[in-house]
Chain A
Amino acid sequence: MPYFTGEESKARAGVAAGDTAGRGAFARMLDSDIWYSFRHSPLTIGAAIVSLILVLAALFAPIVAPHDPFDPASISIMDSFYPPVWSADGQSGFLLGTDDQGRDVLSTILYGMRISLAVGFASVLLAMMLGVTLGLVAGYVGGVTDTIIMRIADVQLTFPAILTALLIDGVARALAGPQAYDEIVFGVLVLAIGLSFWVQYARTVRGSVLVEANKEYVLAARLIGLRPVTIMFRHVLPNVLGPVLVIATINLALAIITEATLSFLGVGVPSTQPSLGTLIRIGNDYLFSGEWWITIFPGITLAILALAVNLLGDWLRDALNPKLR
């Protein structure tokens, strides 16, 4: 059990005394078990700091990046294949070297991470909304609706997510045609990854809803004549969101990896607007001729990003699991 430092017990007293709402919420956060377990896990703090730095660097890529790799005026083919700055032929302007088109590798990584994170967040959001809604409906309505939704989930679980994503990508490619496909590629990726990850949310939420639906507050809400939709989304939903948050964090790492994999396989983000996976694929062609930095640096960035988010997810899972406390 957590022991209380002077500050914490003061915060605790503040809550008990009925502080103002804003101060109370902040104090409550400082006092919570989650914050406690966070402060006492150096690995988690490290992962959080690394994640934060990477997300901020990606968000402010246009400001942070030393070059604009997508501005044709600023890149020159004469600058291509410079090794990183610490090797003999390095150029001082290009910290991690340049790629085949003379683009600064560090800058392409920062811009690429932006796309990787954007696709990752968007597809997790889609999977979450879809899965939570279907899980709520399946659990609350029950009967035939429940059976149909959960059977679809079972069939989809038969395949690994990457295969589902590849198939959706292939079908979209066939339906749209090559030109139109390039314009909708981000939408297709989000759809493909989102649709391959919804099952886990649906199963978890359905399980929690089955427990919640018999509790007194739901019965009371029914009794005063609230509509099922209101009960589902306003009353049941907030009570089943804990596990959803954990799945979402772990899924974010998976979604980023899946996007990178699709892009690496050549069915994802095009090379005109490369994500980390695309950068690794482009660089992979030059691995054998000795220009290792073009592929290894984006690879390391992807690995660190995935590892940091994974560690955060692991911590969140343990922190929210009352059995482990």
Chain B
Amino acid sequence: MFAFAIRRLIQAAGVMLVVALISFLMFRFVGDPVNQLVGVDTTPEQRAQLREDLGLNDPVYVQFARFVGKAARFDFGISYQIKQPVAQLIASRLPATLELSFVSAIFALLVGLPMGVYTGLYRDTLLSRLFLAISLVGISLPTFLIGILLIFIFSVNLGWLPSFGRGETVSIGGFWTTGLLTRSGLVSLILPAITLGLFQMTLIMRLVRGEMLEVLRTDYIKFARARGLSRRAINFGHALKNTLVPVITITGLQIGSIIAFSIITETVFQWPGMGLLFLQAVQNVDIPIMAAYLLLIAFLFTLINFIVDLLYVAVDPRIRLGGTAG
């Protein structure tokens, strides 16, 4: 187990280093950092001084090492457009994105799981067909279109739910703002969370359905039936329990995608999170924010993958940890 964890950790570090290199190359060679930071009235001497101060005259590998060192301390320089430290900007936007992402993931799980179990148990009922049709639409419709349709129905026509922003937020401990404690914050969360979670919901539903269909065919289920166990005990105690390992894995892995896909949902709902910050950075060619966001997402993905890998081994003893594992 320990050796497995170490090997995974080394692999993860390798991936992070490659992403850091891409991020550094963007930061250093796409546009001139000095030109971006100064105005037109800066003299050539001041420019040269700034160039020296930023260490841009050092060999490239020294600069890369310095970039990695700074990144490890969350120092990503200053935004070209907003003229504030990038780390500070991202930190102020992080709670909004994380709250939205986790609520979406929970929504996807709470709705997708029962739908999957139902369609797995009752394959040919009308409701099952309806669920499957919904899942097909959920996979085919682009996220932003789902968001627009929800806004059109629930905000414009019915006027039930707000269509943009986070509502009122409460500050916790000075570094985290939450919308989960106020009524307007919770109401504002509903539409974005559904929009963001719908794709994952259909994914979980299809996965659970497939797993259930497979498990219900196995001998131990037939044996449980023969023993005269109640349908409930068989379906939930035996069948569902054994489908949960892949479901937990996939859901875990999807949290990374949810955070990345929040770029789209945040744009539709003007949600003040990291995704919106990143998108504005792409539009305004604000390279430091782009580089930092890339690194952050890669870090989250690698971290989640790592945790899921370890959990997987911990939960399912059948997975062998031989020399070829990983």
A residues whose Cβ falls under 8 Å from a Cβ of B: 154-155, 158-160, 162-163, 166-167, 169-171, 173-175, 253, 257, 260-261, 264-267, 280, 284, 287-288, 290, 292, 295-296, 299, 302-303, 306-307, 310
Q: Most chain-A CB neighbours within 10 Å: which of B137, B263, B302?
A: B263
5 contacts between A and B (CB under 8 A): A154-B15, A159-B298, A167-B26, A167-B290, A287-B152
B245 within 8 A of A: no
A292-B298 in contact (CB<8A): no
In the complex, what residues of A have CB within 8 A of residue B307's CB?
Answer: none
Report B56-97 CB contacts with A as 1/0, cut-off 8 Å.
000000000000000000000000000000000000000000
Alpha-carbon separation in the docked complex, A248 to B270 (Å): 34
B221 within 8 A of A: no
Alpha-carbon separation in the docked complex, A173 to B285 (Å): 7
B139-A158 in contact (CB<8A): no
Smallest distance from the beta carbon of B287 to chain A beta carbons, Å?
Answer: 6
Smallest distance from the beta carbon of A217 to chain B beta carbons, Å?
Answer: 31
A170-B140 in contact (CB<8A): no
B18-A155 in contact (CB<8A): yes
In the complex, what residues of A have CB within 8 A of residue B290's CB?
Answer: 167, 170
Alpha-carbon separation in the docked complex, A158 to B283 (Å): 23
Given B15, B136, B149, B279, which contacts A158 in the complex, CB threshold below 8 Å? B15
In the complex, what residues of B have CB within 8 A of residue A158's CB?
Answer: 15, 19, 298, 301-302
Given B139, B263, B301, which contacts A310 in the complex, CB threshold below 8 Å? B139
Which residues of B30-80 have CB atoms within 8 Å of chain A's CB atoms? 30-31
Chain B contact-residue range equals: 35 or more
A284-B148 in contact (CB<8A): yes
B130 within 8 A of A: no
A163-B260 in contact (CB<8A): yes
Smallest distance from the beta carbon of B275 to chain A beta carbons, Å?
Answer: 10
B297-A163 in contact (CB<8A): yes
A302-B279 in contact (CB<8A): no
In the complex, what residues of B have CB within 8 A of residue A288's CB?
Answer: 156, 163
Given B19, B141, B152, which contacts A155 in the complex, CB threshold below 8 Å? B19
Decide: A302 near B148, CB < 8 A? Known: A155-B15, A159-B260: no
B282-A169 in contact (CB<8A): yes
Which residues of B253-305 have CB atoms within 8 Å of chain A's CB atoms? 257, 260-261, 263-264, 267, 278-279, 281-283, 285, 287, 290, 294, 297-298, 301-302
Alpha-carbon separation in the docked complex, A288 to B157 (Å): 9
B144-A261 in contact (CB<8A): yes
Alpha-carbon separation in the docked complex, A265 to B147 (Å): 13
Alpha-carbon separation in the docked complex, A173 to B144 (Å): 23
Alpha-carbon separation in the docked complex, A171 to B141 (Å): 28
In the complex, what residues of B have CB within 8 A of residue A287's CB?
Answer: 148, 151-152, 156
Given B140, B148, B279, which contacts A306 in the complex, CB threshold below 8 Å? B140
B285-A253 in contact (CB<8A): no
Residue of A nearest to B18 (CB): A155
Q: Most chain-B CB neighbours within 10 Å: which of A158, A257, A292?
A: A158
